[in-house]
Structure 1
């Protein structure tokens, strides 16, 4: 039996623009000086990292599989073992010119994330980056979105431990299966469609099977189109952030103490996530002022954020609550009042708008969902890809991924991870994506941007500090 991609996995696979690959990832900063209790027999070097990943791949079998599309889109693609799997292709070693600064690291990450993944191989890469100024290391992971769903771990989550003790799984002897050929996939898709005549008869009699599903599909489609039209008519504010971009990316990070953000939230009667959004609003206001000093800054910037920022109860399992890379989680669209220059007033407006819109059915989304997935056929993947990118572009200006919960201490090969940053994927039609993770007492911001639109992205890291400090000093 073939292991076919789920409708949502197939949607992510076909969402890629031509000549590019939709991917996201994570940055782990490993500080050698913070590992007093580390297992000194497991240094953070290339052979040890390869051995660790080989041992952990058994809990994430998708990372040894390739995606095999079906001829003419007769069915969704299938997962198949990569007969030529080479872990040394996926795990790579890189270095910074010593002493490597965070700016040098960000430049390297931007170059890596700008390159598409090889679709003939499993859709992930990992980089061991050496040469950091303090003698530590950085681990960069790069993973296609179809591998990372609400129930699928990202590679950075697979290799980390909750204590300095390195967790070793029992040895796993893996032998790749024989990959199906194009003809076999096509024949299997046709056979799969006609192999259940009993269901077809039942649908004619009871209206509950395939025919009944097709009959109800009309009403379902009308409802879906109505929802989409409702979002489109609630037009997104015009912004330079929506400008057509290039395939070249930039990356930068910033961090602020979580304790001080909690004090701000307590003083103003809101949540820490409201403070985060207000800081991002201040960042975007400052960038727009620098983008066109002659233009007045009025109105709002529309963002999409996870619904967990307002309602932690939407988390479906404890496992999802302690992750830093997530895809497709329920979210909602809200506005950041960047036209307001008073930081205190801006914070109050951000909190009020988030409270209102998180309860609005027109603003709440279930994340990207496949259209007419019940049919199981993907005859026009390019058309579907264009449709999703077009609707996403109209729905909001900036996607923001905020962790559902604080991340507990993590270790790699016995060394403590001093910093975790979620690298957001750059969504087609948008020039900026933001990820926020709470780790080790700090809120850690990561910005991915299109170089052709936001060439001064490193300035946004300074804007985070400035926006935070003005809230700290506000009455």
Structure 2
């Protein structure tokens, strides 16, 4: 397990820091159960991490190890449930909230999948949950893509990898691996020391680099972020889901009109919603602490694990003009990506992993200062099917590691699906909050020359 994944895994010791990522898919009909089971079996062989469990160090320090579960039982991980009530999407999301808040079994591969029957209009839903240490958002999409097909009918001739071989990993084996990691790190540390020595040949330049990095560390660590909004100060262990959708061409049109990126428009719409919510609740602030993931994943990286850095923004809630707000966010995002210390958590992660569990939990709690964490993950851009059922929507929901609101957007075909997970103690007026997000997002979409390209709508 990587050092960053270790921080997430051990953070679960605090109930408010659980790092469960979720996805709700909506199908046009009921998938064939046997084909769905077979798809999960095949997918877990294509991505063996989903057959692996975590083996902790006997000292509970250092990075844990992944081991193929000798007792892997797909019957445990894949389940079938029926939604209560009238089968509405509200009932579905209420069920998914409850499932999301239930802790994963640390003795098994940390994921579960649920086929949800009983939806109105003959539809079916699928709920997937996994620990963030297993994979990041992009990795989860890559894995879920293994379950999807481009055809409603079975496609013959798919590769059939064997099930991964189990291995006996003892406590001594974990310690040996940890020691091996430290030994392999020596050449890299020696190389860094040599680079430092060479830099001393130009002391002025070396000092400038050190000072720039030193000034960058507090910004990346969130030590100089704006204070959290008093309106969103409440924290609990209760999650609430809200889903939205918007035609993706409308977001692209707004990005073209403002000279910004799709991600800048997305953030501008979210923060516009926060502004309206503060106005309606009679509590105004100039800015809120916002965190965004910055992917450092490459094509050679495996689907499992996390390949992310953190960017910090001062969300400009006080800016009324949506155009100015988007451009302000654009410049903040550029600055965050260019921070010299942007990858500091991956750099110091191997040291953090050796800290005692209680100390490490306190460190992971730095995300609690954020009022908003927002992620934008590329989705599956073509029509997809699962075991004979067409996938109509994919709504992602990130965890709430102490923050007030976690927003995640993915694209499915020509639709951008937005999942918002918020702390029930932080957002006390959920219906008003949802309407404010709709209004704030749409005022940004209205900046496009063709303002009729589409609007954000509240699904549930």
TM-score exceeds 0.5? yes
Q: Are 1:108 and 2:67 matched, yes or no?
A: no
Maintained 8 Å contact 1:66/1:123: yes
Find the counterpart in structure 2 of residue 208 from structure 1: 190
Distance 1:274 1:9, change over 3 A: closer
- CA gap of 1:262–1:77, structure 2 versus 1, over 3 A, is closer
| 1:136 Cα deviation after fit | 1.3
Please give the residue correspondences for 1:13-412 in structure 2 after superposition, counting only pairs within 5 Å: 13-19=9-15, 21-32=18-29, 44-73=31-60, 75-97=62-84, 99-149=86-136, 152-153=139-140, 155-167=143-155, 169-174=158-163, 177-186=166-175, 188=176, 192=180, 208=190, 227-231=216-220, 232-240=222-230, 243-290=233-280, 292-293=281-282, 295=283, 297-307=284-294, 316-317=298-299, 327-341=306-320, 345-359=321-335, 361-362=338-339, 365-366=342-343, 368-369=345-346, 371=348, 373=350, 378-390=354-366, 392-394=367-369, 396-404=370-378, 407-412=381-386
For 1:163 and 1:209, how far apart are their aligned partners in 2? 51
Q: Give, in angstroms, the shift of residue 367 of structure 1.
A: 8.0
Secondary structure at the aligned position of 2:218 is classed as helix
SS in 1 for 2:392: strand
Distance 1:372 1:402, change over 3 A: closer
User: Where do 5+ consecutive residues of structure 1 fail to align?
Assistant: 33-42, 309-313
**Structure 2 CA distance for partners of 1:260 and 1:121, relative to 1, 3 Å:** same
How far apart in 2 are the matches of 1:233 and 1:247?
A: 24
Question: Closer, same or farther in 2 for the Cα pair 1:193/1:66, shift >3 Å?
Answer: closer
TM-score, with length taken from structure 1: 0.77
Q: Helix, strand or coil: the match of 1:444?
A: strand
Distance in structure 1 (CA, Å) of the matches to 2:165 and 2:305: 28
Give the Cα separation in 1 of the matches to 2:263 and 2:376.
8
Q: TM-score, normalised by structure 2?
A: 0.80
Cα distance in 2 for partners of 1:25, 1:176 equals 28
Query: What's the C-alpha RMSD, in Å, of the aligned pairs?
Result: 4.0
Match of 2:203 in 1: none
Shift of 1:185: 3.7
Give CA-to-partner distance per residue, 1:212-246, whole Å, 9 cap, x none: 89x99xx9999987643344453323313662522
Compute the displacement of 1:95 (Å).
Answer: 1.6
Counterpart for residue 35 of structure 1:
none
For residues 468 and 211 of structure 1, the distance between their equivalents in structure 2, rounded to whole angstroms, comes to 48
Aligned equivalents of 2:211 and 2:60: distance in 1?
24
Instruction: Measure how far apart 1:149 and its partner are.
Output: 4.1
**Structure 1 residues 64-73 or 355-364, which shifts more?**
355-364
